[in-house]
């Protein structure tokens, strides 16, 4: 069905005519699509009221595993631009045909910085012994410098499609970039104050975060809604013995019982969101600030 829809696509004009010099632009890109919440935030900050922005996965609790529906695909096939995160984030693209001339991979300018995967710690005294799995590294925006590069791609592509709004887009990107650079520096300073702290991550979603801010930590494969099992307790005990961990970083608030049990073991729970889905009651920048506050609790000076 998706292939058939692609064949029937009738795309609108590739660009918007320039207005007369000095006049107020009324150009508007009516169909700009994004595939992740960070891109939604960037496009909204940069494009403002000069674009009609669409985020089909907005209500999904797991954007990376979103299942594409025919009506959404048809709408995207008739878009002006579609911004994707790349780095393996959009699994649904494997089963969908979209026009290459409107599909923009926002990680295209830093392929050399993409991480192939991260280690997930597992521990066993069975026949297999201790072993590890690998997972795709997809949350590129947790390295704020990479997030800036993604936002820059958004600004540039919008300017190409609606050149009479170029100054507007560039000014909005400049303000966003300054805010992100300030936060990036703060993250680096927090970790640098106490760089020997070792943590464990509940899930392998923090590879770029770890690399960017030099955070020493193993990754488990736990869910916040998961009850603590004897196997999980055993893994923590092993990590305490080998790595002296005192903090576990969760994607979301864990169960109260799990949190209490871990605290009794000497391991405090901290939430640092990978911002995979649209946050509740906060935006991207506010969530980054919340993450920074959590990190300060981990790296506070002894």
pLDDT in tens, 88-112: 899 899 889 999 999 999 999 998 9
Q: Indicate the helix (H) or strand (E) that contains 200.
A: strand 198-201
Residue 61 pLDDT class (50, 70, 90 cuts): confident
Residue 297 — pLDDT band, cuts 50, 70, 90?
Answer: very high
Task: List CB contacts of 124: < 8 A, sequence separation 6 or more.
Answer: 130, 131
Task: Count each helix (H run) and each strand (E run) in the chain, helices first.
Answer: 9, 10
Whether 7 shows a pLDDT value over 60: the answer reads no
Average pLDDT over residues 146-165: 97
DSSP per-residue string spanning 5-51: HHHT-----SS-PPPPTTSPP---EEEEEESSHHHHHHHHHHHGGGE
The b/e string for 181-219 (b: 16+ C-beta within 10 A; e otherwise) is eebbeebeebbeeeeebbbbbbbbbbbbbbbbbebebbb
Neighbours of 53 (CB within 10 A): 17
C-alpha separations of 292 from 106, 162, 190, 219, 300 in Å:
24, 36, 8, 20, 12
pLDDT at residue 217 tops 60: yes
pLDDT bracket for residue 46 (50, 70, 90): very high
The CA distance from 140 to 206, in Å, is 9
Neighbour-count burial for 152-177, b at 16+ CB within 10 Å, e otherwise: bbbbbbbbebbbbbbebbeebbeebb
On whether the CB atoms of residues 294 and 274 are closer than 8 A, the answer is no
Residue 67, judged by CB atoms within 10 A of its CB (0-12, 13-18, 19+), counts as exposed
| Residue 48 clears pLDDT 90, i.e. is over it | yes
Contacts of 261 (CB under 8 A, 6+ apart): 228, 233
Task: Supply the pLDDT for residue 27.
Answer: 75
Q: Look at residue 117 in the predicted model and tell me its pLDDT.
A: 67
Give the per-residue pLDDT at 164: 95
Phi, psi of 190 (to 5 degrees): -60, -50
Cα 164 from Cα 12, distance rounded (Å) = 18
What domains sit in the chain, N to C, each tagged with a CATH number? 2-109+138-180 (3.40.50.1980), 193-298 (3.40.50.1980)
Rounded Cα–Cα distance for residues 203 and 254 (Å): 12
Containing 176, the helix (H) or strand (E) segment is helix 166-192
Handedness of CA 251, 252, 257, 261 (dihedral sign): positive
Q: What is the pLDDT of residue 123?
A: 47
What is the helix (H) or strand (E) element at residue 244, kind and residue range? none
Angle at 44 between CA 52 and CA 167, to 5 degrees: 90
Q: What digits encode the pLDDT tens for the residues 107-140?
A: 999 989 999 765 545 544 444 444 444 446 899 9
């Amino acid at each position: 069905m998706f292939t058939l829809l692609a064949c029937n696509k009738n795309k609108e004009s590739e660009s918007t005519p320039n207005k007369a010099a000095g006049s107020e632009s009324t150009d508007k890109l009516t169909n700009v699509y994004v595939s992740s919440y960070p891109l939604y935030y960037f496009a909204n900050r940069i494009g403002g009221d000069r674009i009609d922005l669409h985020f089909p996965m907005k209500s999904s609790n797991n954007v990376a595993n979103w299942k594409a529906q025919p009506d959404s695909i048809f709408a995207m096939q008739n878009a002006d631009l579609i911004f994707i995160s790349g780095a393996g984030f959009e699994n649904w693209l494997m089963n969908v045909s979209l026009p290459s001339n409107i599909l923009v991979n926002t990680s295209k300018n830093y392929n050399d910085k993409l991480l192939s995967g991260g280690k997930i710690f597992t521990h066993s005294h069975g026949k297999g012994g201790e072993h590890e799995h690998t997972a795709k590294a997809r949350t590129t925006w947790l390295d704020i410098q990479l997030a800036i590069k993604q936002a820059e791609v958004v600004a540039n592509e919008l300017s190409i499609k609606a050149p009479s709004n170029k100054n507007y887009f560039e000014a909005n990107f400049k303000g966003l970039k300054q805010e992100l650079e300030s936060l990036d520096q703060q993250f680096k300073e927090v970790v640098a104050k106490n760089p020997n702290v070792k943590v464990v991550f509940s899930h392998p979603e923090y590879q770029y975060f770890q690399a960017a801010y030099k955070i020493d930590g193993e990754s488990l494969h736990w869910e916040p809604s998961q009850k603590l099992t004897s196997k999980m307790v055993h893994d923590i005990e092993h990590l305490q013995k080998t790595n002296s961990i005192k903090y576990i970083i969760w994607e979301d608030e864990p169960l109260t019982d799990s949190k209490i049990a871990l605290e009794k073991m000497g391991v405090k729970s901290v939430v640092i969101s990978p911002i995979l889905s649209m946050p509740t009651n906060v935006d991207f920048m506010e969530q980054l600030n919340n993450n920074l506050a959590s990190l300060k609790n981990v790296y506070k000076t002894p």
